[in-house]
């Protein structure tokens, strides 16, 4: 994978066609289009074909569950692989639908490494919208119920004197690989599998730039002072609603003082990492991308240059 390629869950996997959200008859158009494919979600779990290679179990407009659903349960996602794609959000209660043979409602996080990248991106997109909708059922200004607008991409307060409108929001978080020239700074949380270490991460606070958040989080978690940070890439992370903004950073070889949420943090050489001294993050995570870029950096290049990743 090249350093300019999109991270998992991102990239041009869908044509969003945002102008179609403004059409009042968008749902009728979806039902009359024989090519429309419906993605079924029950809470944050989504209907997939199970087996050696899981994939999305799309259903047509004539499916009984689609036929009896209320209009507010549908969200226009866009055009996926050339076909109109609509999310149907079902109640989380299991009795809402008995999955057809060979399918099951599955959570994305555990299965994502086994999924096709485009389908994983679509499921992440649908999951993020589902979580946002479930958390904005009532107006934050007056407490009245909200109603979907713009094909499910905005929510409007149902109380006319209020009329507050809400749009999906993300929680930006930085994630950074800090190096001192020879070693990388990695930490672990106590809930992770034994031996797993990863890059430093944390949420951006109000009134704080991304670079400020990098310096603060690294200092809070490890006691190390960042002297330079450069942007690498970003990754949507719908667990539940984050946008991970990845950085490479440089720091002096300060001693580590563990704080914050980390159980442990230390400096590791490339030789130690390659030899399996740590269990690395999953291959589809931006954390792994940052580590792989460092491991494949050519010695002849400056520390601020990036090279290809595998």
- Does the structure show a pLDDT above 50 at 42? yes
Burial (Cβ within 10 Å: 0-12, 13-18, ≥19) of residue 110 = exposed
Residue 102's DSSP bridge partners are: none
- Does the structure show a pLDDT above 90 at 26? yes
**Confidence at residue 304, expressed as pLDDT on a 0 to 100 scale:** 38
pLDDT, one tens digit per residue, over 216-265 is 999 999 999 999 999 999 999 999 999 999 999 999 999 999 988 999 99
- d(CA 291, CA 310) in angstroms, rounded, equals 11
**Confidence at residue 308, expressed as pLDDT on a 0 to 100 scale:** 35
- Which pLDDT band holds residue 93 (cuts at 50, 70, 90)? confident
**Confidence at residue 298, expressed as pLDDT on a 0 to 100 scale:** 43
pLDDT, one tens digit per residue, over 4-15 is 789 999 999 999
- Does the structure show a pLDDT above 60 at 307? no
Do the two domains 18-135 and 171-295 of this chain adopt the same fold?
A: yes
Domain ranges for the chain: 18-135, 140-168, 171-295
Q: Considering the chain, what percentage of its residues have pLDDT values greater than 70? A: 94
Token pair of 169, please? 């929001």
Look at domain 171-295 and name its CATH class. alpha beta
**Going by C-beta distance under 8 Å and a sequence separation of 6 or more, which residues neighbour residue 269?**
182, 183
**Confidence at residue 51, expressed as pLDDT on a 0 to 100 scale:** 86
- Does the structure show a pLDDT above 70 at 299? no
**Confidence at residue 5, expressed as pLDDT on a 0 to 100 scale:** 84
Q: Omega of the bond prior to 153 within 30 degrees of 0, cis?
A: no
Domain 18-135 has CATH 3.30.420: no
- Which pLDDT band holds residue 297 (cuts at 50, 70, 90)? confident
pLDDT, one tens digit per residue, over 154-203 is 999 999 999 999 999 999 999 999 999 899 999 999 999 999 999 999 99
**Confidence at residue 96, expressed as pLDDT on a 0 to 100 scale:** 64
Please answer whether residues 56 and 46 qualify as being in contact, where contact means their C-beta atoms are separated by less than 8 angstroms.
yes
Q: What is the CA radius of gyration of the chain?
A: 22
Q: Which of 55, 104, 98 is nearest to 80 (CA)?
A: 55
Q: What is the 3-state secondary structure (H, E, C) of the chain?
A: CCCCCCCCCCCCCCECCHHHHHCCCHHHHHHHCCCCEEEEEECCEEEEECCCCCEECCECCCCHHHHHCCHHHEEEEEEECCEEEEEEEECCCHHHCCCCCCEEEECHHHHHHHCCHHHHHHHHHHHHHHHHHHHCCECCCCCCEEEEEHHHCEEEECCCCCCCEECCCCEEEEEEEEECCCEEEEEECCCCCCCECECEEEECCCCCCHHHHHHHHHHHHHCCCCCEEEEEEEEEECCCCEEEEEEEEECCCCCCCCCCCCCEEEEEEHHHHHCCCCECCCCCCHHHHHHHHHHCCCCCCCCCCCCCCC
- d(CA 226, CA 216) in angstroms, rounded, equals 9
């Amino acid at each position: 994978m090249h350093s300019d390629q999109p991270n998992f869950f991102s990239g041009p996997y869908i044509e969003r066609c945002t102008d179609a959200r403004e059409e009042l008859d968008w749902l009728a158009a979806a039902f009359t289009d024989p090519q429309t494919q419906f993605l079924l979600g029950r809470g944050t779990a989504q209907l997939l074909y199970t087996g050696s290679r899981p994939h999305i179990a799309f259903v047509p407009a004539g499916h009984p569950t689609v036929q009896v659903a209320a209009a507010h349960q549908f969200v226009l996602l866009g055009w996926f692989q050339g076909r109109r794609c609509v999310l149907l959000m079902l109640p989380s209660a299991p009795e809402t639908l008995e999955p057809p043979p060979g399918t099951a409602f599955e959570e994305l996080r555990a299965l994502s490494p086994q999924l096709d990248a485009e389908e994983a991106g679509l499921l992440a997109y649908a999951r993020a919208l589902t979580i946002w909708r479930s958390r904005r059922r009532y107006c934050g200004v007056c407490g009245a119920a909200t109603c979907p607008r713009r094909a499910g991409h905005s929510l409007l307060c149902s109380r006319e004197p209020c009329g507050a409108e809400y749009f999906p929001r993300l929680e930006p978080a930085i994630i950074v690989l800090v190096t001192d020239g020879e070693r990388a700074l990695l930490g672990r949380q106590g809930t992770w599998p034994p031996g797993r270490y990863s890059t430093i991460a944390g949420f951006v606070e109000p009134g704080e730039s991304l670079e400020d958040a990098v310096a603060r989080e690294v200092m809070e978690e490890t006691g190390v002072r960042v002297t330079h940070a450069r942007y690498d890439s970003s990754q949507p992370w719908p667990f539940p609603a984050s946008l991970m903004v990845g950085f490479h950073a440089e720091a002096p070889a300060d001693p580590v003082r563990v704080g914050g949420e980390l159980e442990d943090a230390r400096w590791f050489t490339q030789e130690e990492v390659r030899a399996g001294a740590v269990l690395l993050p999953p291959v589809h995570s931006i954390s792994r991308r940052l580590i792989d870029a460092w491991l494949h950096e050519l010695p002849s290049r400056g520390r601020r240059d990036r090279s290809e990743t595998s």
